């Protein structure tokens, strides 16, 4: 279950939900075991220079090697930039979990996971 965080100066005209969908699709096309991407966007009201930082966090797996990561990064960058309609400082970081990272689903009886 990857995590996606987009931090950006709020002067950018960007549909983050569309970008979330693009990122999730690319990750799952490259690795069907990835699953849903839990995604968040943080527009920043106070900033210096127009910028965007996209951080993608993935579980460490043997097939997610250097070649996988470089190919994923290249495809993500090109696809994300299609959604940017103005000049911006662009950063993309793909990171992998440490040995003691825990991830799972906590379900409460009678409740469902919300999706927006």
In this predicted structure, what is the pLDDT of residue 101?
80
In this predicted structure, what is the pLDDT of residue 99?
74
CA distances from 32 to 8, 12, 24, 61 (A): 29, 32, 11, 13
In this predicted structure, what is the pLDDT of residue 67?
96
In this predicted structure, what is the pLDDT of residue 112?
82
CATH T-level topology, domain 3-96: Macrophage Migration Inhibitory Factor (3.30.429)
16: Cβ–Cβ under 8 A, 6 or more apart, which residues? 6, 39, 41
Whether this prediction's pTM lies above 0.85 is answered by: yes
In this predicted structure, what is the pLDDT of residue 80?
98
Phi (first) and psi of residue 104, to 5 degrees = -165, -170
Phi (first) and psi of residue 90, to 5 degrees = -115, 130
pLDDT in tens, 29-60: 999 999 999 999 999 999 999 999 999 999 99
Which residue positions in the chain have pLDDT lower than 50? none
């Amino acid at each position: 279950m990857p995590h996606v965080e987009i931090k950006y100066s709020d002067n950018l005209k960007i549909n983050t939900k569309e970008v979330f969908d693009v990122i999730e699709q690319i990750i799952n096309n490259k690795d069907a075991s990835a699953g849903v991407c839990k995604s968040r966007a943080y527009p920043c009201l106070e900033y210096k220079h127009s910028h965007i930082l996209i951080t993608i966090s993935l579980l460490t797996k043997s097939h997610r090697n250097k070649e996988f990561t470089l190919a994923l990064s290249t495809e993500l960058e090109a696809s994300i930039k299609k959604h940017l309609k103005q000049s911006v400082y662009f950063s993309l970081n793909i990171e992998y979990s440490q040995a003691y990272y825990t991830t799972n689903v906590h379900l409460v009886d009678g409740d469902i996971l919300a999706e927006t």
